[in-house]
Amino acid sequence: MKPFMCLFRLLPLSEKKIIVNNYNGKGYGDNAKYIVDEIRRQQLHYDLVWIVEDGKSIELPDGIRKVRMWSLRCIYELSTAKVIISNVKNYLPFLKRSSQYYIQTWHGPVPFKYIEQDAVDLLSPRYIKESQQNSSITDVMLSCNAISSYLFKNSFWYDGEVYECGAPRSDIFFSSQSVKDQLRRQMGVTEGQKVVLYCPTFRDNGSISAYDIDAHKILDTLKHTTNQDWVMMVRMHPNDKKGIARFHFDKKVLNMTDYPDMQELIFVADMQISDYSSTIAEFLIMQKPVFIYASDLEEYSKSCRGLSPAYYELPIHINRTNEELIQSIEQYDEAQFRQQLVPYLQHYNSFDDGHASERVVERIKSVIDGTFRRQDGSENHKK
């Protein structure tokens, strides 16, 4: 592989080519989806390439080429693209040139587990090496809040630019009600129904015992307390899909685990139930009610990277049993919830306003047309 990386590095750059790595080959989603959608909306004539997993059937919009992860073609595309976009810090098979521009979007608002340098004693030497290498070739990291900016500068082995532009994937949260209604219909939600999204994170030990929420009892409780009809969307983590075995899916409990865009699910949902997922922060900044169900809190906090203080500072009660969860739902007070949110939102200091994708595309346009000047004042020279 290394000889081809060296060989392809000698080839001319394709000045209008942009290649995307989303979770090392996953589908059309996360921050890059919204950046590419904005490129397509502006009808910019760029060569768009999306890296996909081997053997995976992934649907992409017209005009986007697929390339298989780790293939010889993938090495070539990475080596000759002007702009590379990624949301993870794993190794990519190419040797970056000074005239290439690497955008690291990251993939979450606020981590509740220790990550990167803060978890250096818990991470594998391989991951540390790959993360440090990724930081060394990154030209800019996109930040959506003050907490992320601090982490990028202090915990990511990174000393480059942090662009406080907001998260492109959060742009959808500022969409109109008509967009929300259309998405709900596509997802099988009928008019007038409310949506609770259950989206737990994965367990390093592979256990699914903590996903034992009583879905139908929760729905009955919500109907009784709100006098409205509810459905539950279940979204298991991509690393732990076997957890769906704990559910009986029907017209009221919908399996959305393979739905390609998590942000659309967050957007349409009226309420969230989760455990340690960073999506909790996204619900809170939209001031939507969040209920934590963490029956394995003690075990989880001691496993792998553990839980950071940011988790325990959330303005939400941690429910340990189904009975506690039901009681929290029954006793929910919206006015009290919003009051408790105020100091949290001030500390979080979100940069999201619905225009992050536009800002990133403007940066990409300036890089491609050669007018962008790096932090050191040098121009984005072409090679």
Query: How high is the mean pLDDT of the chain?
Result: 93
pLDDT over 90 (residue 284):
yes
Reported as a single tens digit per residue, the pLDDT across 133-192 is: 999 999 999 999 999 999 999 999 999 999 999 999 999 999 999 999 999 999 999 999
Q: Evaluate if residue 283 carries a pLDDT over 50.
A: yes
The CA distance from 251 to 239, in Å, is: 25
Identify the CA nearest to 42 among candidates 370, 365, 379, 372: 365
Residue 380 has pLDDT above 70, yes or no: no
Lookup result for tokens 């979100």: 350
**pLDDT above 70 coverage of the chain, percent:** 97
Closest CA to 246 of 221, 277, 218, 215: 215
What order do you get walking across the sheet with 47-52 strand by strand? 64-68, 47-52, 14-21, 81-86, 101-104, 140-142, 161-163
pLDDT band at residue 353 using 50, 70 and 90 as cut-offs: very high
User: How much of the chain exceeds pLDDT 90, in percent?
Assistant: 81
pLDDT tens digits, 85-114:
999 999 999 999 999 999 999 998 988 988
Mean pLDDT computed over 302-328: 91
Length of the chain: 383
| pLDDT of 382 strictly over 50 | no
d(CA 366, CA 166): 19
The pTM for the full model equals 0.91
Q: How far apart are CA 305 and CA 308, in angstroms?
A: 9
Amino acid occupying residue 177: Q
